[in-house]
Homo-oligomer: A and B are copies of this chain.
Amino acid sequence: MSRPTIYDVAAAAGVSKSLVSLVLRGSPRVSDASRHAVETAIRELGYRPSRAASALASDRTQAVGLLIDDYANPWFIDLARGLHEVLGPEGYRLSVVDVATASAAEDPVEGLLSSRVDGIVVAMDVPAALLGPGAPPLVIAGTRAQAAPDTDSVANDDRLGARLAVEHLLALGHRRIAHLPATGGASTARTESATAVLAAAGIDAVVGTPAPGATEPEGYRAALDVLRRHPDATAIFAANDTMAVGVLGAARELGWDVPGRLSVVGYDNSALAGARLIDLTTIDDRSTDVGREAGRLLASRMGGSTAAPAHRTLAPALVVRGTTAPPRA
């Protein structure tokens, strides 16, 4: 069951290891008979040239790491699709590493670095180790807490997205609006923008405690808490779709009809939001487009580009579904 080596191939073909190397590199300095013998041995043994060896020779692994902070937050799925679309045809494969499920014993960031992936897409607040010297080309996807002016970045405009969400509720006639924030750069930008837009409309928003994981159970508990303290609230804007699903669960538990008694807006336009059961009004943050653009920027850096750092912002869009309506008179 042990993996065949280049020595096994050489032995089976009756040639030297150097000749096998020449065949693997496609050298023209090999006779047809030797090439045939080596190719037959490779096929029969199921030999696979080590990518580690090729990587050492070429300084390339053709692997791109995608660093995320929670598989359970489905926005990364659309991001990965966009990355695959652009990087796949260039011969790169994508490995997703999640820091949330990683055990305490391993450092997923260190692991990514020491495996010498050709590039990394960071879809979470950026670990400091990735911004130091020696890190491979990096693109930051999404709005992040840390300023990283020297690193390429692509994000939707979270401030605009939050404005669209809140203006939608205001246009429907809502005046008692709560916001459930999460921690992290993207959510902080959404919260700042939402409260500013509400303040400009003369409304003092009810803002919950920022949820560190931005998870469904956090959204559920935060909504119960806010709605019990502010039973006159008619609308909630949640930091993301996952928390908004928690809000819908809280409304169900309280017996509050959505959207009759409570309007709910999420953020991400993830597949979850489009499920018929959930049918969530949300902000499309164009994750697939962010992935495509991040893939393009990263491919260019991995190809050796030394252009000035690019910072792209894509305009999000309001997606009105079934969880928002005018407040009950």
| A residues apposed to B, CB below 8 Å | 1, 3-4, 45-53, 55-56, 59, 61-63, 65, 71-72, 74, 76-77, 80-81, 84-85, 87-89, 91-98, 101-106, 108, 111-116, 132-136, 216, 220, 245-246, 248-250, 252-253, 271, 275-279, 306
Contact = CB atoms under 8 A, between A and B. Distances in A.
B271 A216 contact: yes
25 contacts: A3-B134, A4-B133, A46-B133, A51-B114, A51-B116, A62-B115, A63-B111, A63-B115, A65-B95, A71-B80, A72-B74, A80-B98, A85-B103, A87-B103, A88-B102, A88-B103, A89-B103, A93-B108, A93-B115, A95-B96, A220-B275, A245-B275, A249-B275, A249-B279, A277-B277
Given A56-B50, A71-B80, A276-B246, A61 B115 contact: yes
Given A88-B106, A96-B98, A250-B276, A61 B72 contact: no
Q: How often does this chain occur in the complex, in copies?
A: 2
Nearest to A244: B277
Given A61-B115, A96-B96, 18 more contacts: A3-B134, A46-B135, A50-B116, A62-B111, A63-B115, A71-B77, A71-B96, A72-B74, A77-B101, A80-B98, A93-B97, A93-B106, A94-B102, A96-B97, A245-B277, A249-B276, A252-B276, A253-B276
A114 B77 contact: no
A80 B114 CA distance: 21
Contact of A52 (B113, B116, B135): B116
